[in-house]
């Protein structure tokens, strides 16, 4: 919650859309660190992978003593956020950047214990460009990066960090149910009538956001540095939502785009159902195993993307999955179906693929019915009888509510700034349908 608020504030105070939110505040990003950026085959949602190399290490000669110089400035001073929600409460603001609060007796409070300043640290890009642009890179160094067709190589030229420790507080006073989105975002499962208080501290100088510069010329083995910071492009749907059209028109158009996207892709998943029951079962079992390590899911998608130049992955679960799929004899349609499913899983927020692949058959059946309803013109409603994971306090309740969002703006149901709600709904629908096709057949 705080990271999302911090990113929103950073955007308000003048950033040009070139800052990327750090998904793991325990992971510090150093200046000049290399980052691989990949856009999926089916969705243009960028994925960032920090590499164990820095820009100077791309050079043949030793560059460990290189110091580009940097400058720091306060981006946001005394940032604080205190968001309270209650059953009938409304959120309001006092006009001050970075502060939002509401009066009344709150059911949920999210915020920071004391104000904190955010500082931006920028490398002297002119010094970096003068030192490295136009220099030769050995073929061995280029191969070391193991870049694929849709990969871009970047380096960190800017970071945003907190000047002091940030103590985050969450208090819950509940009589009934807590919103599914709060449960999802904070991984809380609240049952019954209870009070809950959670707090933790983010260490000082944690990286909240960072900016990237693109490196090109690798194919010619000559390093070139972009003249402008790299800006993740927004999806077409995201831009439509931000247009001057009315909210109702935007909601209808966005949902129509989602339906069309799912309908166009869902037929590609059908070859999954044509696999033998034993193969489907073994693939699902192996998929659950490799999902224990998020990096394995990324590796599996990259491996599937390069089937023509297949190299046996170092990960045993990924290798086992590829062996079961038997890529040397599998049809193109089957490989496309598997890649679509894996790509959709990799686009979902962290932790969601594990929950979906391990949920009970009844839960998956209901979700699949909701996907069917999404494809229809009428409103989709939740059944009266639901499996525990889909009930009010269930860990997958938010997925059911998202699949039913036909009469309101999707953005009202999802508060993540990293993944447009329309893409989230599309990939969720495809994962549910793909997993349903791989379930054992029943009489």
Which pLDDT value is given to residue 330? 87
Q: Which two tokens stand for residue 182?
A: 């709060």
| Cβ pair 424, 418 in contact under 8 A | no
Residue pLDDT, tens place only, 419-443: 778 888 999 999 999 999 998 876 4
Which pLDDT value is given to residue 337? 94
Which pLDDT value is given to residue 362? 94
How many C-beta atoms surround the C-beta of residue 216 within 10 A? 13
Report residues of the chain scoring pLDDT below 70.
1-17, 60-64, 79-114, 167-200, 233-253, 307-311, 377-379, 406-418, 442-443
Which pLDDT value is given to residue 401? 87
Which pLDDT value is given to residue 112? 60
| Cβ pair 35, 151 in contact under 8 A | no
Q: Going by DSSP bridges, is the β-strand pair 151-162/19-21 parallel, antiparallel, or unpaired?
A: unpaired
Mean residue pLDDT of the chain comes to 74
| Cβ pair 185, 241 in contact under 8 A | no
Q: Which two tokens stand for residue 41?
A: 């085959």
* pTM of this prediction exceeds 0.75: no
Which pLDDT value is given to residue 168? 61
Q: List, in sequence order, every residue forming a beta bridge with 212; answer none if it has no partner.
A: 156, 230
Which pLDDT value is given to residue 101? 30
| Cβ pair 137, 223 in contact under 8 A | yes
Which pLDDT value is given to residue 109? 44
C-alpha dist (Å) from residue 15 to 20, 47, 83, 163, 247:
11, 21, 24, 19, 26
């Amino acid at each position: 919650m705080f990271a999302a608020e911090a990113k929103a504030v950073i955007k308000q105070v003048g950033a040009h859309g070139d800052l990327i939110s750090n998904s793991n505040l325990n992971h510090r990003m150093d200046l000049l660190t290399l980052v691989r950026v990949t856009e999926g085959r089916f969705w243009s949602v960028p994925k960032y992978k920090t590499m164990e190399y820095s820009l100077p290490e791309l050079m043949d000669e030793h560059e460990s003593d290189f110091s580009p110089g940097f400058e720091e400035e306060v981006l946001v001073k005394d940032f604080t956020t205190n968001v309270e929600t209650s059953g009938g409460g409304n959120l309001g603001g006092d006009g001050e950047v970075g502060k939002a609060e509401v009066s009344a007796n709150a059911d949920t409070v999210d915020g920071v214990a004391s104000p904190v300043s955010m500082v931006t640290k920028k490398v002297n890009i002119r010094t970096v460009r003068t030192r490295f642009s136009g220099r030769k890179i050995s073929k061995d160094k280029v191969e070391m990066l193991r870049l694929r067709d849709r990969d871009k190589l970047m380096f960190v030229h800017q970071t945003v960090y907190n000047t002091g420790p940030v103590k985050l507080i969450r208090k819950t006073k509940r009589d009934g149910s807590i919103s599914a989105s709060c449960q999802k975002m904070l991984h809380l499962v609240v049952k019954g009538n209870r009070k809950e208080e959670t707090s933790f501290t983010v260490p000082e100088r944690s990286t909240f956001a960072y900016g990237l510069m693109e490196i090109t010329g690798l194919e010619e083995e000559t390093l070139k540095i972009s003249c402008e910071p790299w800006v993740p492009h927004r999806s077409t749907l995201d831009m439509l939502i931000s247009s001057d059209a009315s909210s109702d028109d935007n909601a209808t158009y966005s949902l129509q785009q989602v339906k069309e996207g799912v309908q166009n892709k869902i037929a590609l998943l059908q070859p999954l159902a044509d696999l033998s029951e034993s193969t489907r079962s073994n693939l699902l079992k192996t998929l659950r195993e490799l999902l224990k390590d998020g990096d394995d899911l990324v590796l599996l998608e990259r491996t599937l993307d390069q089937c023509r130049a297949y190299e046996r992955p170092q990960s045993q679960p990924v290798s086992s999955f590829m062996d079961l799929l038997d890529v040397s004899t599998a049809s193109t349609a089957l490989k496309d179906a598997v890649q679509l499913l894996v790509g959709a899983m990799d686009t979902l927020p962290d932790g969601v693929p594990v929950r979906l692949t391990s949920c009970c058959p009844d839960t998956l059946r209901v979700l699949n019915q909701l996907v069917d309803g999404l494809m229809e013109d009428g409103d989709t409603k939740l059944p009266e009888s639901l499996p525990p994971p889909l009930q009010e306090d269930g860990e997958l309740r938010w997925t059911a509510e998202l699949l039913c969002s036909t009469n309101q703006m999707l953005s009202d149901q999802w508060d993540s700034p990293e993944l447009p709600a329309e893409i989230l709904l599309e990939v969720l629908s495809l994962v549910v349908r793909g997993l349903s096709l791989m379930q054992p057949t029943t009489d």
